Amino acid sequence: MTSLPEFLKELFESWPLLGILPVWFYSIVAIFGLLFLFLFPFAGVAVYVERKIAGDIQARIGPNVVGPYGILQWIADALKLLLKEDIIPTNADKKLFILSPMLIFISGACAYAVIPFADNVILANLNIGIFYLLAITSMVTLGLILGGWASNNKWSLLGGLRAAAQVVSYEIPVALSILTVVLVTGTLDMAQIVKMQGPFYWNIFHNPFLFISACIYYIAALAEANRTPFDIPEADSELVSGYNTEYSGMRFAIFFLIEYAECFIICAVATTLFLGGWHLPFFDLSSLTLGLRIPLQIMVFMTKSILLLLTMMWIRWTLPRYRVDQLMKLCWEVFVPFSFACLIGTAFWMVLFKGKGIPELILGLFVS
């Protein structure tokens, strides 16, 4: 079980020039590869796909001018945003105004360091992986509230404060659901969590409480990423655009990019924790050769994550928006008690059945 930089180092060990390079060089290569080959294009394509889905759901065509089926729309959008003037309002707090997108970018992008795309394809195989992810993603709140405050704009201030209250509240059901998984797996290591689930024992089927936990995680994470039906911080019809009202050009693009990057992180974490990561059901991929195994594992992982992402988009374009008071009520009076109940329920299940899940118990019946 190694991380991607170490894996690359091993792979190129016998090469004349690449073999002598230190591991941290491979780290840098891997990070740039992730950012430019995966994160930026993926977020762009996700925006295009979302607009196309929105078009389909609302019986419109969606983007269809740039390229065949409008598929190059995201490149045109990125170029347009790059060429737009960068406006910093005179009344704004300039330092904080500049700092906010940076903080958001750091917290959004650095979370990708512990996403296990396949066996060995994980940037940093931390032993506290999921805890690190929880810590780094909550830095987004800081960026949002800074952006809202620094803009010195009423819409931004309201949006930023709403975002802070909402993200902070929904962090608790999310963290509790993750804690429930940790009770079952007994490790915080992302790659280890996937390894433990194997082709049969996916965490979502471990016990009924964990199934509810998975649902709570998905819904609460939607709220944490400010997606509809919980997009109160940037509710366009009441707050113009929320905390990013005053941002323009590339700075706005970064807010937009990280929103989609975060959506993928949510889906990837849900896949890792509950849906068995890179494992196919009933078929053990780890017996295949290296050249075949890694692309297949990445494909399986991406398929699961993208299905969850498409569900997210489907939800966005079919459900109306919540009200602030309903949102807070839903979090504190429904999700928090339920996730506590799931935590205690899972702990009880573990004590009762000595850590065995439903699939294991059923298989045990056949064996004995």
Give the 3-state secondary structure percentages of the chain, helix then strand then coil, rounded to 5: 75, 0, 25
Cα–Cα nearest to 267, from 213, 311, 329, 324: 311
How far is residue 358's CA from residue 69's CA, in Å, rounded to a whole number? 46
For the bound state, the minimum distance from the C-beta of residue 208 to another protein, rounded and expressed in Å, comes to 18
Distance (Å) of CA 79 to CA 38, 44, 73: 18, 11, 10
Which is closer to another protein, CB of 48 or CB of 155?
A: 155
Dihedral, CA of residue 16, residue 21, residue 27 and residue 30, to nearest 10: -30
Q: Which two tokens stand for residue 5?
A: 């930089």
Which is closer to another protein, CB of 33 or CB of 199?
A: 33
For the bound state, the minimum distance from the C-beta of residue 102 to another protein, rounded and expressed in Å, comes to 5
343 contacts: CB under 8 Å, gap ≥ 6 = 176, 179, 180, 183, 209, 213
CB 298, CB 118: distance < 8 Å: yes
For the bound state, the minimum distance from the C-beta of residue 84 to another protein, rounded and expressed in Å, comes to 6
For the bound state, the minimum distance from the C-beta of residue 360 to another protein, rounded and expressed in Å, comes to 12
Which is closer to another protein, CB of 60 or CB of 80?
A: 80
Which is closer to another protein, CB of 62 or CB of 185?
A: 185
Q: What is the largest CA-CA distance in the chain?
A: 76
Which is closer to another protein, CB of 49 or CB of 266?
A: 266
Which is closer to another protein, CB of 71 or CB of 341?
A: 341
Q: DSSP assignment of 140-186, as one string?
A: HHHHHHHHHHHTT-HHHHHHHHHHHHHHHHHHHHHHHHHHHHHHHH-
Which is closer to another protein, CB of 285 or CB of 343?
A: 343
CB 193, CB 181: distance < 8 Å: yes
Q: Which two tokens stand for residue 234?
A: 């940037």
For the bound state, the minimum distance from the C-beta of residue 158 to another protein, rounded and expressed in Å, comes to 9
For the bound state, the minimum distance from the C-beta of residue 262 to another protein, rounded and expressed in Å, comes to 14
Cα–Cα nearest to 170, from 233, 109, 122, 242: 233
Distance (Å) of CA 306 to CA 96, 224, 272, 330: 35, 19, 13, 27
For the bound state, the minimum distance from the C-beta of residue 149 to another protein, rounded and expressed in Å, comes to 7
Distance (Å) of CA 71 to CA 59, 77, 152, 280: 19, 11, 37, 30
Which is closer to another protein, CB of 202 or CB of 300?
A: 202
For the bound state, the minimum distance from the C-beta of residue 185 to another protein, rounded and expressed in Å, comes to 7
CB 117, CB 298: distance < 8 Å: yes
For the bound state, the minimum distance from the C-beta of residue 298 to another protein, rounded and expressed in Å, comes to 19
For the bound state, the minimum distance from the C-beta of residue 57 to another protein, rounded and expressed in Å, comes to 29
Cα–Cα nearest to 140, from 198, 226, 57, 247: 226
Which is closer to another protein, CB of 164 or CB of 294?
A: 164
Which is closer to another protein, CB of 249 or CB of 359?
A: 249
What is the amino acid identity at position 177? S
